[in-house]
Amino acid sequence: MRLAAQIENDEHVDSKSLIGLHVDLFVDDVRQPLTYGSLGIGKDREDAINTAVSEWAMAVGEPLLRALGAKTGEQPEQIGQFLIYRGPAGIRGSDHVAWSSEKDKKLLHHLDAFVHGLEHSPGELHSISLMIAVRPDGKTEGECRIDGAISTSLLKAVQSFSWRQDGLNYLFKEFYVVRRQ
């Protein structure tokens, strides 16, 4: 396994440094569909890079290691012939959003059809990535990807999920590593 990280954005805004990091995963020199980008914000360039790497490690690294056999105590979900390894739900913009493992399971099973759709795709590893802005009225917008490709049908399915309508504005992010059994 080999990771290839590339800085895509390197900017200064006000007194902060911003780094956009793009990470590809290769297994036996074959690129896997687990590409993910993360954003690091820090007091200087090095701090921003460290933040971007940490963001990637939490979102992708954790579920990837579990998919590759690391024992963490958390069992994967099974949908059809696939085991699903969830990264932690990332919520930004509000400290008052309650997110539970039960809600995580409901969201994943709301996406069953997309996991089943991977049965026709070659390869052992796949990914599903969600980035959703939830508005105070519960309406959503965002970007969803399957194997790194933007999927408007996945976004529509995610938008039909029951998001909180409690006047909060927040960003929800989640990454799934999907492994064929």
Number of domains in the chain: 1
User: What is the domain range of residue 25?
Assistant: 2-180
The Cα–Cα gap between 56 and 97 comes to 22
Mean pLDDT of all residues in 25-42: 90
Q: Which residues pair with 13 in a beta bridge?
A: 16
What's the token pair of residue 116? 């089943």
Q: How confident is the model at residue 28 (pLDDT cuts 50, 70, 90)?
A: confident
Mean pLDDT of 147-167: 90
The pLDDT score that the predictor gives to residue 78 is 94
Six token digits for residue 128: 């599903």
Measured between alpha carbons, how far is 27 from 144 in angstroms, rounded to an integer? 24
Closest CA relative to residue 86, chosen from 95, 94, 54, 100: 100
The tokens describing 81, both together, are 């012939």
- pLDDT at residue 165 in the model: 66
Q: Which tokens go with 113?
A: 């059809």
Instruction: Give the tens place of pLDDT for each residue, 70-122.
Output: 887 788 999 999 999 999 888 888 777 878 888 889 999 999 999 999 999 98
